[in-house]
Amino acid sequence: MAFKLPELGYDYSALEPHIDARTMEIHHTKHHAGYTNNLNNAIGGTDLEGKSIEEILASVSQHSVAVRNNGGGFYNHNLYWDVMAPGGAETPEGELLEAINTAFGSVDSFKEQFVKAAATRFGSGWAWLVKKDSGLVVASTPNQDNPLMDVAEVQGTPILGIDVWEHAYYLNYQNRRPDYINAFWYLINWDVVSSRFKG
């Protein structure tokens, strides 16, 4: 089965004014669609066909650059659209809140680390909240890499991620990446993050 571009569970305008509808539409229908199509082309006719995206990424060092870049782009954007879903809890609660407090001392301290990871990622990439056996950590990755990959500096299961490629924010924020990162806090559906944490 080829990978498919997921439909968003909300309208392109649903995240306004923080992320504008035009950015969302281009990001989803051009960038994410491109990663999806290129991933399918890269794995077509290989032993990767039929494997889950998680299986592919776990051994990505053994595969082509096209599989690494497009497999990461496919997975990362799936998570990104999911955790920004409108509605749901606006702050961490329950087990996730406890885990954040244990790992970082407070939600504010976690936010500071996450913002720093996103703001200081040179060039294109992502910042993540990552679930490890030892607890939660903040990490960042270049390009379309993510913590599921065996090449990642910090490995684990990403439960929250922000895209800091310029295509994610440039129409609205131009070079003001910090403004986009700050706006991201208004968009997170913590119910979704919590379910990823428990899953």
Residue 82 lies in a domain: yes
**Distance (Å, whole) CA 21 – CA 26:** 9
Residue 9 lies in a domain: no
Residue 2 lies in a domain: no
Helix runs in the chain, H state only:
21-26, 33-43, 53-58, 65-83, 94-104, 107-119, 170-173, 177-184, 190-198
Backbone angles phi, psi at 125, to 5 degrees: 165, -160
Which position has the token pair 């379910």? Answer: 195
Residue 45 lies in a domain: yes
* Amino acid at the residue 110: F
Let me know the angle formed at the C-alpha of 94 by 89 and 96, rounded to the nearest 5 degrees.
Answer: 85
Question: pLDDT digit of tens for each residue in the chain (199 aa)?
Answer: 699 999 999 999 999 999 999 999 999 999 999 999 999 999 999 999 999 999 999 999 999 999 999 999 999 999 999 999 888 888 999 999 999 999 999 999 999 999 999 999 999 999 999 999 999 999 999 999 999 999 999 999 999 999 999 999 999 999 999 999 999 999 999 999 999 999 8
Residue 1 lies in a domain: no
Residue 8 lies in a domain: no
* 198 token code pair: 């428990």
CATH number at residue 43: 3.55.40.20
Which position has the token pair 């990663």? Answer: 35
β-bridge mates for residue 125, sequence order: 142
